[in-house]
Amino acid sequence: MIDWIAFDADDTLWRNEEYYLEGREQFFKILTKYGLDPEDIHQFDRFEVENIQYFGYGAMSFILSMIELAIEITEERIRPGDIQQIIQLGKKMLTHEVILFQGVGSLLETLSSVCPLMLITKGDLFHQQRKFKASGLGGYFKALEVVSEKNPEVYAEILQRHGIQPDRFLMIGNSLRSDILPVLELGGWALHLVAHPTWSHEDDPLAESTPDRYLEVESIPGVHACLIGAGLLQG
């Protein structure tokens, strides 16, 4: 019923958003030394989104956005030592350990015995590959696709390259904008992990009526039963 199952990585298989939130908290702590109001600091998202055009998505873009914002918002009063602190924060984010969500190992073991699995992840190539290696999950996946954007064109290119019909393809992820909507648009299946954390920029709303081939569960331990219930896997 399905020829390939693809997974998103960050915040789908392993924890990610919490490291950004923690980095951001520590960044705010640095800035409050300059008498800044946390309200002002919240233009952070704007900086980050504007910088995507230069730096793409990922931790390096996040670090550079923090530095730019810190300089602007302190009106150039920020001390170089604090900028160095921000870079250290970033290096910590780039090398944190990879912590899998509960049930990921057994789910991948089950699914990989039924059909080939693919990982489709967005961000810094080097960082994503490092996490993939550190996750220990490599053996379950037949393909790893690191992409700089997740839109219908990018998914279509991946499906074409692997010779996959859209309606025989299932994507599982936490982000409506990146993992779910573009795949539905192509005519594929998409399973949304609704209780997994998601960066606010990734929070596109779903259409009012439930689209065809859209599935949702709270989290990883619900995935297998959901796929059987939808008739995509045999019970």
Binding site for a copy of itself (CB under 8 A): 54-57, 60-61, 63-64, 67-68, 70-72, 74, 76-81, 83-84, 87, 90-91, 94-95, 124-127, 129, 146-148
Q: How far is the CB of 176 from a copy of itself (least distance, A)?
A: 22
Q: How far is the CB of 135 from a copy of itself (least distance, A)?
A: 16
Q: Which is nearer to a copy of itself, 46 or 91 (CB)?
A: 91
Tokens of 207: 């259409």
User: Tokens 């910590």 correspond to what residue?
Assistant: 92
Q: Which is nearer to a copy of itself, 60 or 100 (CB)?
A: 60
Of 198, 162, 159, which Cα lies nearest the Cα of 182? 159
Would residue 213 be called left, alpha or beta, if left means φ above 0 and alpha means ψ between -120 and 50 degrees? Answer: left
Sheet of strand 169-173: strand arrangement: 143-147, 117-122, 4-7, 169-173, 189-193, 214-217
Q: How far is the CB of 201 from a copy of itself (least distance, A)?
A: 16
Of 112, 101, 118, 137, which Cα lies nearest the Cα of 13? 101
Tokens of 174: 């936490």
Q: Which is nearer to a copy of itself, 96 or 177 (CB)?
A: 96
Q: Which is nearer to a copy of itself, 35 or 205 (CB)?
A: 35
* DSSP 3-state percent helix, strand, coil across the chain (nearest 5): 55, 15, 35
Q: Which is nearer to a copy of itself, 27 or 57 (CB)?
A: 57
Q: How far is the CB of 150 from a copy of itself (least distance, A)?
A: 13
Q: How far is the CB of 199 from a copy of itself (least distance, A)?
A: 17
Question: Coil, strand or helix: which one is 112?
Answer: helix
**74 neighbors 31 (Cβ within 8 angstroms):** yes
